[in-house]
Amino acid sequence: MEPGKILEIAEMGNPVLRERAREVEDIHDPGVQNFIDDLIATGISANGVGIAAPQVDVPKRIFIISSRPNIRYPDAPLMEPEAVINPEIISCSDEMVKDWEGCLSIPGLRGLVPRHTSVRVKYVSRDGRVEERQFTDFIARIFQHEYDHLNGVLFLDRIESNRDIITDREYMKLLRRESE
């Protein structure tokens, strides 16, 4: 895999984050494949556990899940970065749970966001295979967060109360207290 280049991240206020992204028609197009490498490199360099194409000003239905423990998410499970193209959520659990999320496009803030604990999903991988998978817990949460980006939805839209929003600094203090 070619190492990708680092792209500029669009932040809240940029209209691209509020659009519905368009389906990818030719996954094998070298431009699309190179873009996926760039998106992976950009997400990793920003310590993200996921990143969606609209976050780098490209309104296409592509996102990356790249969970790994890092300074922003010390307890994240480790996985190879995976490209998710033209995803659909087929079904989701009735059970929902609130947990902390951040977003590379909303620097400095964290929020307690209610999400389904598991989702059954369908998408196309970067080599053009149709995947049908079940994700639970943290990966299900990333999937729902990134999927929202393709529809112009940000995590702050899903928060139940302003009291569930805190700053990154206070979040880091909270983590330290929890690990004591």
Task: List the catalytic residues.
Answer: 146
Report the interface residues with Zn ion, using CB under 5 A.
103
Dist. CA 128–CA 147, nearest whole Å: 19
Which residues are CB-neighbours of 57 under 8 A, at least 6 positions away? 7, 8, 10, 14, 16
Task: Give the full edge-to-edge strand order of the sheet including 165-167.
Answer: 96-101, 109-116, 165-167
Q: In the complex with Zn ion, which residue's Cβ is closer, 18 or 29?
A: 18
> Rounded to the nearest whole angstrom, what is the least distance from the CB of residue 149 to Zn ion in the complex?
6
CA 171/CA 59 separation, integer angstroms: 30
Taking CB positions, which residue lies at the least distance from Zn ion?
103
Q: CB 155 → Zn ion: shortest distance, Å?
A: 6
Calculate the alpha carbon distances from 115 to 46, 98, 129, 136, 156 in Å.
24, 6, 27, 11, 13
Shortest distance, position 97 Cβ to Zn ion, whole Å: 18
- Residue closer to Zn ion by CB (options 35, 147) is 147
Please, which residue, 124 or 150, has the CB nearer to Zn ion? 150
Q: Which letter does DSSP use for residue 127 in this model? A: T
Could you tell me the smallest distance in angstroms from the CB atom of residue 148 to Zn ion? 8
3-state helix, strand, coil in the chain (%, to 5): 30, 30, 40
Which residue lies nearer to Zn ion by CB, 156 or 172?
A: 156
CB contact at 8 A, 146 and 60: no
Report the SS3 class of residue 18. helix
